[in-house]
Copies of this chain bind each other. A is one copy, B any other.
Amino acid sequence: MPRSGEAVRRRLQEAALALYCEHGYDTITAAEIAAVAGVTERTFFRHFPDKREVLFAGQDILRAELAQAIAEVPDATAPLTVLGQAFLAMKPILETNRPFTEPRAKIIAATPALRERQLAKIESLQETAAEALAARGIPHRQAVLAAQIGVAAFGLALQEWTPNPAADLEPLLNEAFDDLRNAVR
> B-contacting residues of A (Cβ < 8 Å)?
78-80, 112, 115-117, 119-120, 123, 141-142, 145-146, 148-149, 152, 156, 179-185
Q: How far is the CB of A53 from chain B (nearest CB, A)?
A: 12
* A–B pairs, 22, beta carbons within 8 Å: A78-B185, A79-B183, A80-B184, A112-B120, A115-B120, A115-B123, A116-B117, A116-B119, A116-B120, A119-B120, A142-B179, A142-B183, A145-B152, A145-B156, A145-B180, A145-B183, A146-B183, A149-B180, A152-B152, A180-B184, A181-B184, A184-B184
Copies of this protein in the assembly total 2
Further contacts, 14 of them, CB under 8 A, given A145-B183, A149-B152 = A78-B185, A115-B123, A116-B116, A116-B117, A116-B119, A119-B119, A141-B179, A142-B182, A145-B152, A145-B180, A149-B180, A149-B183, A152-B152, A184-B184
By beta carbon, the residue of chain B nearest A117 is: B116
In the bound complex, what is the Cα–Cα distance between A29 and B149 (angstroms)?
38
Mostly, the A contact residues are helix
In the bound complex, what is the Cα–Cα distance between A144 and B180 (angstroms)?
10
In the bound complex, what is the Cα–Cα distance between A146 and B182 (angstroms)?
9
By beta carbon, the residue of chain B nearest A177 is: B184
What residues on B are CB-neighbors of A152 within 8 Å? 145, 148-149, 152
In the bound complex, what is the Cα–Cα distance between A119 and B116 (angstroms)?
7
By beta carbon, the residue of chain B nearest A155 is: B148
In the bound complex, what is the Cα–Cα distance between A19 and B180 (angstroms)?
43
